[in-house]
Structure 1
Amino acid sequence: MNNIRQPTRDELQQFPLLSGLDETESRRVLNKARVVTVARGEHLFHHGDPARRIWLCRTGQLKLFRLSDSGQEKIIAIINPGRSFAEATLFMPARVYPVHCAALKPSELVGFDADDLVETLHNDPEACFRLLGTLSVRMHEKINQIDSLALQNAHLRVAHYLLEEYRRLQAPKTFRLEASKKHIAGLLAVQPETLSRSLTALQREGALDMDARYITISDPEKLEQIARSGFSAPH
């Protein structure tokens, strides 16, 4: 426990909700914050648990997911360091987590007290609008994900995912997949072998090159064409 670094004001800046707090408010929020470590495979929370905190991933990696009645897992999001999550629970009449959260890697998180933040929203309209802006961006991300799952075949989902990652990371020539292929396949609702076939097809078409989890975008225009029109297909 002595090696755990306490939450800092710099970490508050990663939350749009908390970035405008003055020194007194920041000190209060930090005093109520809690640092939590989660082992690989361990749950941070379960679907239906009281949402007493919103979270910032400091290190590691987690997944948000739902389970079907038959026990089949559907990954909703993969959480990497620097990403906050569970903010939408602040607006729920009965604040509970709508998904499960489990660690894909040993992870360290900062949890911020939900009751205290709700009081902040009541007293600070600007903070409320900052949070709504964050939730709006997340909502559009999910709409795009739903469109991809509903309207595109598996190969197009893979191409679209890589294109979005390429853009999100500000178009580096080479980038590392932030999650394992197994979990990316789960996020895209495809089988791992389908993901592998699609990556091979994209490489064959000259859109990208692969080296384990490293992706080099050889031809961004071709990748976009495939993602938008389905020009390429795995064989």
Structure 2
Amino acid sequence: MEANQIHTHANCVRLVPIFNHLDEASMMKVAEKAHHKGLKRGEYLYQATDADDSVYIVHKGQVRIFHLSESGKEQLIRVLNPGDFTGEWTIFSTDAYHEHYAEATRNSAICAINRNDLLELLKEYPEISMEILSSMSDRLQQSERQTASVATEPVTNRIIYYLENLAGADSEDDATVTLPMTRRDLASYLGTTPETLSRRFKDLETSGLIEQLPKNTIRIPSIEELLFATE
């Protein structure tokens, strides 16, 4: 692998919490195992039933992961931004297959590490295993909370809790957040329709609880008052 390619891959793996604790020499060893993959907007990183044999790290761009039911209904699982990764389950199975779809929402650069190379890295740097397990645990908890919210909470509550999470636990007054996905994807993630999402945002704005700004930005004058509006 050429030196400039390794340098590019090193910049990619530095973005990821499971690797960025390593020293520079170790980081370069990880980079040597990585492979570059470019995606244009609308192209798939993988599709359901494809072999799950690599960890994929988003270097540039954005990738949306979604499930497609037999009826054709789409459910957004999560959105990957630079530094986010997917495919870590591959280390636990030699015959794993993807259950979801991963589509680039803009031109993206991905660095991938295949299963065998990842296992070699885990043997040499066991601390990576703990970082991966921690990340998987956080993701599982988030997924469980999201599933419970969609099943039990009204749409307005889902929106409010989502905005609170974006603002951060320590925010109370006058927070400004930027939605990390399109309104269409946010509707899918929250288990509603784009039309219903727009109406609920408008209701919250009319009540003075939020202000919709350009570029997918939302101003929240008071997180506390917003939470009081839950049903």
Query: Structure 2: which 5+ runs fail to align?
Result: none
RMSD: 2.5
Quick check: 1:16–1:127 contact (8 Å CA) kept in 2?
A: no
Quick check: 1:8–1:30 contact (8 Å CA) kept in 2?
A: yes
SS in 2 for 1:218: strand
Could you report, residue by residue, the CA deviation over 1:205-225 in whole angstroms, capped at 9, with x for unpaired residues?
221101242211111111122
Equivalent residue, structure 2, for 1:105 = 106
Answer with 83-92 or 199-208: which moved more.
83-92
Quick check: 2:171–2:223 contact (8 Å CA) kept in 1?
A: no
For 2:83 and 2:126, the matched residues in 1 are separated by 25
Could you report, residue by residue, the CA deviation over 1:52-80 in whole angstroms, capped at 9, with x for unpaired residues?
32122122211101111112211111112
Could you report, residue by residue, the CA deviation over 1:14-34 in whole angstroms, capped at 9, with x for unpaired residues?
334333445554333212211
Is the alpha carbon distance of 1:6 and 1:42 closer, same or farther for their aligned partners in structure 2, counting shifts above 3 Å? Answer: farther
Quick check: 2:9–2:36 contact (8 Å CA) kept in 1?
A: no
Equivalent residue, structure 1, for 2:161 = 160
Percent identity between matched residues is: 27
| One-letter identity of the residue aligned with 1:70 | S
Equivalent residue, structure 2, for 1:233 = none
Select the residue among 160, 181, 197 that pairs with 1:195: 197
- Structure 1 residue ranges, 4+ long, deviating more than 6 angstroms after superposition: 168-172
CA drift at 1:13: 3.6
Quick check: 2:59–2:109 contact (8 Å CA) kept in 1?
A: yes
1:144 equivalent to 2:148? Answer no
Answer with 86-95 or 157-166: which moved more.
86-95
Is the alpha carbon distance of 1:125 and 1:32 closer, same or farther for their aligned partners in structure 2, counting shifts above 3 Å? Answer: closer
Quick check: 1:41–1:105 contact (8 Å CA) kept in 2?
A: yes
Equivalent residue, structure 1, for 2:217 = 214
Per the normalisation by structure 1, the TM-score is 0.85
Quick check: 2:65–2:102 contact (8 Å CA) kept in 1?
A: yes
Quick check: 2:44–2:101 contact (8 Å CA) kept in 1?
A: yes
Is the alpha carbon distance of 1:185 and 1:168 closer, same or farther for their aligned partners in structure 2, counting shifts above 3 Å? Answer: farther
Per the normalisation by structure 2, the TM-score is 0.87
